[in-house]
Structures are given as structure tokens and as C-alpha cells.
């Protein structure tokens, strides 16, 4: 029998495919226009940061990719601008960044099926660590670097040393071509994590292959 999360992901796709496609296409056009305005100097860096945060549904305050440092994969597979204020840890062989109790892991993998399917696969891998997972959103989108991507946002409860914690988890897969992906899995507090997730959205937009 399919897991509860697997069924929720399928139902979410059926319910929101048309809406999400139109929404993400419109958002991609807006981001492309903003990127062009920023690259030509029509907007100041602060204005670019604020407008991009607004498009990503976050607040302009808090950590952002603006002013962050560039991480380059040692095997030359991708580069990314790590948001300012986030700590970098590569001790486990992949990129992990943290800000307080929020974290994001980045890894590369090969898998057929498209970006959204890869993101769904990552979410299902984490299901055993979640209680009562709910699909908040999912769909395909295009990054500012013009790469196809898929993403899922889940609300859930996880166990921590200090007890149960209500979290928002993001699962994003960015296509590098030939069924290769950079996959991000992140976790932040459900109530206070919006600016952090907006910063991660900017980081995803900064990925280049």
C-alpha cells in the first residue's frame, strides 16, 4: 500500500498541476525580468535583494545570498552562492550549510524521471523521520540560471533532543542535463523560517553548472 506521504504527493499533483504550472511560469518571467534589470544596473543591489525576496514569498530581512560566498564543488559539478550568515560544512563529502537550527544539504545524483520526480524521491526518503507530513506546495519551475527544477515544501513534526519540533522541509532538484541533478534538502522552523527559506531560494537561483 502506498505510504501516506506518497498518496499526498500524488493528490497534490492532481489538485494543483494546472495552477502550479501557470503560477511558476509567471514567476519565472518575473524573475527573468528582475534579473535583467539587476544585471543592467537599473536597480540597486538592495532593491534587487528585496524584490527577489518578495517574489520568493519571503521577507527582505534576514540572511540572503547577497554578499554571500561562492562555493564551488571540488569535482567541478556546480557552484552556488551560500547565503550570508550561513556556516559551511563539507566534512561529510557534500555541502551542508547551517543557520542556527536551520540547515540545508546539497548533493549531486543521477536519476531519470525529471526534476519533480527526483524531489519527490528525496521527500519519500525522509518520510521515516517525519510525523504527520503535509504537502504545502509542489511543482516545476525554472531557476534564474535557466535550469529546469522541481520542488516540494512539506510541513511536518520531527523529533529532536529537546522534543517534537514543527518544521518546514524543502526538497528541490535542479537539472544539470543528462539526468544529473543538484538536490537540496532543508529544514527550518515552521513559524520563523520564512526568511531563511527565502534565502535558500536565492541560493538555488545562484546555482550554475
CB count in 10 Å sphere of residue 100:
14
Please give the angle made by the CA atoms of 27, 85 and 142, to the nearest 5 degrees.
20
Alpha helices in the chain (DSSP H): 4-39, 45-55, 115-125, 194-205
Greater model confidence, 107 or 68: 107
* Chosen CATH of 4-205 out of 3.40.1000.10, 3.40.50.2020, 3.40.50.970, 3.50.50.60: 3.40.1000.10
Q: Please, are residues 174 and 181 in contact by the beta-carbon 8 Å criterion?
A: yes
Ranges of each domain in the chain: 4-205
Cα gap 15→13, rounded to integer Å: 6
Three-state SS across 41-86? CCCCHHHHHHHHHHHCCCCCCCCCCCCCEEEECCCCCCEEEECCCC
Average pLDDT value for residue range 98-113: 95
pLDDT digits (tens, 9 = 90+) for 19-78: 444 444 455 556 666 665 665 555 555 566 666 666 655 443 444 444 589 999 999 999
Cα gap 178→196, rounded to integer Å: 31
Burial environment of residue 76 by CB neighbours within 10 A (0 to 12, 13 to 18, 19 or more): exposed
pLDDT at 128: 86
Alpha carbon dihedral 99, 103, 108, 110, in 10-degree steps, equals -150
Cα gap 53→60, rounded to integer Å: 5
pLDDT at 61: 40
pLDDT at 175: 98
> Chain-wide mean pLDDT for the chain?
81
CB count in 10 Å sphere of residue 156:
22
pLDDT digits (tens, 9 = 90+) for 173-194: 999 999 999 999 999 999 999 9
pLDDT at 83: 93
Amino acid at each position: 500500500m502506498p505510504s501516506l506521504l506518497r498518496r499526498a504527493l500524488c493528490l497534490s499533483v492532481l489538485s494543483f498541476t494546472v495552477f502550479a504550472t501557470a503560477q511558476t511560469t509567471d514567476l519565472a518571467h518575473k524573475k527573468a525580468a528582475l534579473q535583467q534589470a539587476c544585471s543592467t544596473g537599473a536597480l540597486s543591489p538592495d532593491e534587487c535583494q528585496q524584490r527577489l525576496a518578495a517574489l520568493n514569498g519571503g521577507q527582505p530581512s534576514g540572511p540572503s545570498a547577497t554578499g554571500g560566498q561562492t562555493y564551488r564543488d571540488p569535482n567541478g559539478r556546480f557552484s552556488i552562492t551560500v547565503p550570508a550568515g550561513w556556516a559551511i560544512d563539507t566534512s561529510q563529502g557534500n555541502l551542508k550549510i547551517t543557520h542556527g537550527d536551520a540547515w540545508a544539504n546539497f548533493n549531486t545524483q543521477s536519476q531519470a524521471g525529471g526534476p519533480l520526480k527526483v524531489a519527490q524521491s528525496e521527500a519519500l526518503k525522509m518520510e521515516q523521520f517525519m510525523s504527520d507530513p503535509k504537502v504545502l506546495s509542489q511543482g516545476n519551475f525554472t531557476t534564474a540560471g535557466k535550469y529546469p527544477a522541481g520542488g516540494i515544501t512539506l510541513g511536518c513534526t520531527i523529533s529532536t533532543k529537546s522534543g517534537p519540533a514543527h518544521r518546514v522541509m524543502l526538497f528541490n532538484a535542479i537539472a544539470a542535463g543528462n539526468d544529473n541533478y543538484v538536490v537540496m534538502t532543508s529544514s527550518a522552523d515552521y513559524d520563523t523560517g520564512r526568511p531563511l527559506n527565502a534565502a535558500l531560494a536565492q541560493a538555488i537561483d545562484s546555482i550554475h553548472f
